[in-house]
Chains A and B, each alone.
Chain A
Amino acid sequence: MKKGIQGILLMILLWTGLFVSSDVVSAEDGSALKRVQDEGVLVVGTSADFPPFEFYAEVDGERQVVGMDMMIAQKIADDLGVELEIQDIGFDSLLPALEARNVDIVIAGMTPTAERRKSVDFSEIYFKTFQNIMVRAEDEEVYTSLESLKGLPIGVQSGSLQEGLAEQIEDAELMSLTNLSDLLLALKTNRIEAMVMQGPNAEAHAGNDEDLHTFVGAFEMEDDDAGSAVAFRQGEDSLVAAVNESLAEIAEQNLTDEYLAVAGEYMAQSEDSEAEESGFAANYWDYFWDGTSITLLISAVSVLVGLILGFILALMRLSKSLVLKGLATAYVEFVRGTPLLIQVMFIYFASGLVVNLPALAAGIIAVSLNSGAYIAEIIRGGINSVNKGQEEAARSLGMSKKEAMRHIIFPQAVKNIWPALGNEFITIIKESSIVSVIGVGELIFQTRVVRSISFQGILPLFVAMLIYFALTFTLTKLLNFYEGRMNHD
């Protein structure tokens, strides 16, 4: 058992070694640019809850990530002569995804702060911006300056430039959340008094929500902190140079104004569809439907794969071989002793170093590996719960260990395993929401998207909650039905 754990630790060390060395090794000789052009695809990471820079909208009946940054990305891809592929990932995970080679570059309204420059390289600044304070409309007269916010609870997006700027508000009590929609909801529900937000983004929100009011904050900023730039892995100078060329053209021709105007139209379009009054659920049904399908897909595949893996692990744990037993025990204990969140991120980022695994596949693999460990325990428990006399009776009739397991013990164990397996399925349906951190479009992820495009904080959460409940409740009833049919004694 100790050996097994050491093996896993060693594996982790090797992986992390790869992380570190990959940063150092990439000596530049034009290979980065060549790689992108050879592959014919530029994979751009972004975090699509940031209008007017990146957000979802319907384009020719299809949902896409649009916005100023995406048009810049398209221009860069066109200039390079390659296809553009967008990957929507949580803002926090963007730079890890970049370093782990899940994406080629990051365009996400990202400010090239000194802190970030330690781990990645940046292009020239392509968009100068200002920073705003967002308050409730009713407080318009009360909060008019940074001074007026002294000592109050202030919300910022975690890991953002604004998090640093908020320190300039005297004695501010900072509340850092990953998600802007959550922060806006916190503001509207009086949990915080104000937020620091990127200027155009704050204006987009205030313009769409009469309960909000925003004004420019008089922050002291470094030059670098006053704009957005494209992020690269360190040392990929040829790619940086190529992108800078495209950015220079954009600046020359003032294309950002044009791009922002187009983004504004998309935002207006999503408002229009709201104005149709066809109801919230009808408007965003597609998002919830997609999310539900993916949640079910992840859960079903993970339970199936987990079942096979769990079965093998359970047999290993019940076997006489100390090596097999130790390996299986180490695996089960390790997986059960670490959070699924970390496993998901680990698989996604670590796999990015070797093969470019789509986020959905990485998510399914992580959840499957995780459920395998839990299902192994369920199966083992089910087998152990079969009366010892059953095995003895079978063996006394001359059945081999294998035959006794297959014909006598396992069929009885299934009756104990089945309900627990059903519970595991239900758990996975709920827990699989964790894969939203790597940008898999399951139900929680889509809920986040709906919150950002509908400018509604609570209603999407409520709808998601109802869907989850409908899924788990139906499943429970279904399982009870089959469980009832299995009992003939």
Chain B
Amino acid sequence: MIKVNHLKKSFGKNVVLKDLNEEVSQGEVVVVIGPSGSGKSTFLRCLNLLEEPTGGEIVFEGTTLTGLKEKEMNQLRQKMGMVFQQFNLFPHKTAKENLTIAPVKSKGVNQMEADNKAVKLLDQVGLGDKADAYPASLSGGQQQRVAIARALAMDPDVMLFDEPTSALDPEMVGEVLKVMKDLAKSGITMIVVTHEMGFAREVADRVLFMDDGYIVEQGTPENIFTQPAHERTQDFLAKVL
């Protein structure tokens, strides 16, 4: 479903992604781990073209994502939901409006339909009663659940998560992970950057270990966590586990 060939990305002289090759298939849940600065966020952001790759190619559902026109790029992003570490909810909109604005304005869904769907999705993430609340009145965990529902409202084929629980107080991590686990069971393709090793072990089909702009090692959670092949993977796991 997503194929990455020799992906490179640099910011000026700083080469962040050196040569990434990876293939994610339909329905797969892939967890990306690695030390800070290794390029995990940049990798995710390249996938939905928030960052423009400086080399290599990405093929998504048969379309090569280089040299796309602005309009094609927007349509493509509609199929890739993204959840950010800092939630990035729209503070001037209620929870429900956060979910409906993009479908109505960019996808041409009518308001009623979008509203109904929003209510359902908010229910699904356990926030049915917060539809009319503004983000500022919600806790971090609640905000992140709204953000997940917001991405789902566009009916994406893939969900990208960039450290969705890193900015949360510890007692709120669980509620967000639960929503993500339910989502994984529903069969949607997910790529998740996280430091939650428990989640990786339990939910991931595959774990990628990134370091210094490369995917150093990959395999099932079993393999990566119990018998990592590379020294750098071993070092990293020794620090975080």
> Contact residues of A with B, CB < 8 Å?
387, 389-390, 392-401, 403, 407-408, 411-412, 415, 488-489
| Min CB gap A404→B, angstroms | 9
Q: Interface size on B (CB < 8 Å)? A: 33
Closest chain-B Cβ to A78's Cβ sits at a distance in Å of 66
Closest to A400 in B: B74
A166 CB to closest chain B CB (Å) equals 65
Q: Is residue B2 within 8 Å, beta carbon to beta carbon, of the partner chain? A: no
Q: Considering the chains assembled together, what is the distance between the CA atoms of A488 and B91 in angstroms?
A: 9
Indicate whether B13 reaches chain A with its CB closer than 8 angstroms.
Answer: no
Q: Which residues of A contact B89 (CB under 8 A)?
A: 393
Hey, which chain B residues are within 8 Å of A393, CB to CB?
82, 84, 88-90, 147
- Contact call A396/B77, Cβ cutoff below 8 A: yes
For the complex formed, measure the closest distance between the CB of B21 and the CB atoms of chain A, giving whole angstroms: 24
User: Is A396 within 8 A of B50, CB to CB?
Assistant: yes
- Collect the chain B residues with CB atoms within 8 Å of residue A407's CB: 101, 105
Secondary structure dominating the interface of A = helix
A387–B86 alpha-carbon span in the complex (Å): 11
Tell me the nearest residue of chain B to A408, going by C-beta.
Answer: B90
The 5 closest A-B pairs by CB, nearest first: A398-B78, A489-B136, A393-B88, A397-B102, A396-B82
Q: Given known contacts A397-B106, A397-B154, A398-B106, is B90 in contact with A390 (CB within 8 Å)?
A: yes
Q: Please encode chain B, from 201 to 219, with 1 for each CB lying within 8 Å of some chain A CB and 0 for all others.
A: 0000000000000000000
Question: A398-B75, A400-B74 are contacts. A389–B151 as well, Cβ < 8 Å?
Answer: no
**Which B residue sits closest to A401, measured CB to CB?**
B70
Query: Do A399 and B74 have beta carbons less than 8 Å apart?
Result: yes
CB distance from B101 to the nearest CB of A (A): 6
CB proximity to A under 8 Å, residues B91-108: 91-92, 101-102, 105-107
CA distance A398 to B150 in the complex (A): 12
| Cross-interface CB contact of B92 among A392, A401, A411, cutoff 8 Å | A411
User: In the complex, are the beta carbons of A489 and B135 less than 8 A apart?
Assistant: yes
- In angstroms, how far is the closest chain A Cβ from the Cβ of B151? 7
B136: nearest chain-A partner, CB-CB: A489
A414 to nearest B CB, angstroms? 9
- Tell me the minimal C-beta distance from B166 to chain A in angstroms: 14
Question: Which of A407, A415, A489 has the most chain B CB within a 10 Å cutoff?
Answer: A407
Give the chain B neighbours of A488 by CB distance below 8 A: 92, 134
Q: Please, which residues of chain B bring their CB within 8 A of the CB of A397?
A: 77-78, 81, 102, 106, 150-151, 154
Q: Is residue B48 within 8 Å, beta carbon to beta carbon, of the partner chain?
A: yes
Residue contact B105 to A399, C-beta cutoff 8 Å: yes
Tell me the complex Cα distance, A399–B78, Å: 8
Q: Are A489 and B134 in contact (CB under 8 A)?
A: yes
Quick check: is B80 within 8 A (CB to CB) of the other chain? yes
Asked if B116 lies at the interface with its beta carbon under 8 angstroms from chain A, I say no
For residue B137, CB closer than 8 A to chain A, the reply is yes
Please measure, in the bound complex, the distance between the C-alpha atom of A395 and the C-alpha atom of B160, giving whole angstroms: 14
- A400 to nearest B CB, angstroms? 5
Distance of A397 Cα from B136 Cα, bound (Å): 21
Query: Nearest residue in B to A411 (C-beta to C-beta)?
Result: B92
Other A-B pairs, 14, CB within 8 Å; known A390-B90, A395-B77, A400-B70:
A389-B88, A396-B48, A396-B77, A397-B150, A398-B78, A399-B74, A399-B102, A399-B105, A400-B106, A401-B70, A403-B106, A407-B105, A412-B92, A489-B91
Enumerate chain A residues within 8 angstroms of B76, measured Cβ to Cβ.
Answer: 398
Hey, which chain A residues are within 8 Å of B105, CB to CB?
399, 403, 407
Determine which of A390, A398, A403 lies in contact with B88 in the assembled complex, contact meaning CB atoms within 8 Å: A390
Output the least CB separation between B81 and chain A (Å): 7
- Distance (Å) between the CB of A387 and the closest chain B CB? 8
Which residues on the B side are within 8 Å of A387 (C-beta)?
Answer: 88
Identify which of B81, B89, B106, B135 gathers the most chain A CB atoms within 10 Å of its CB. B106
CA distance A249 to B47 in the complex (A): 92
Residues in B neighbouring A489, C-beta threshold 8 A: 91-92, 134-137
Cβ B50 vs Cβ A399 within 8 A? no
Residues A398 and B107 in contact, CB atoms below 8 Å apart: yes
A396 to B150: give the CA distance in the assembly, Å. Answer: 11
Take A395-B50, A397-B106, A411-B92 as given contacts and tell me if A389 and B150 are in contact as well, using a CB distance cutoff of 8 Å.
Answer: no
Given contacts A392-B88, A407-B101, A411-B92, contact A398 B134 (CB under 8 A): no
A387 to B92, alpha carbons, bound, how many Å?
A: 13
Q: Roughly how many angstroms separate A390 CA and B75 CA in the complex, as a whole number?
A: 19
Q: Is the CB of A399 within 8 A of B106?
A: yes
The residue in chain B whose Cβ has the minimal distance to the Cβ of A406 is B105
With both beta carbons as reference points, the residue of chain B lying nearest to A412 in the complex is identified as B92
Nearest chain A CB to B36's CB is how many angstroms away?
19
A441 to B46: give the CA distance in the assembly, Å: 61
Residue of B nearest to A399 (CB): B106
Q: Once the chains are docked, how many angstroms separate the CA of A398 from the CA of B134?
A: 22
Bound form: Cα–Cα A399–B136 in Å: 23
CA distance A392 to B137 in the complex (A): 22
| Residues of A contacting B135 in the complex (Cβ-Cβ under 8 angstroms) | 489
Q: 1/0 contact trace for B145-161 toward A, CB 8 Å?
A: 00100110010000000
CB closest chain-A residue, reference B97 = A407
Q: Given the complex of chains A and B, what is the CA–CA distance between A279 and B133 in angstroms?
A: 59
Bound Cα distance A398, B78 (Å): 4
A396 / chain B contacts, CB cutoff of 8 Å: 48, 50, 77, 80-82, 151
A217-B23 Cα distance, complex, nearest whole Å: 102
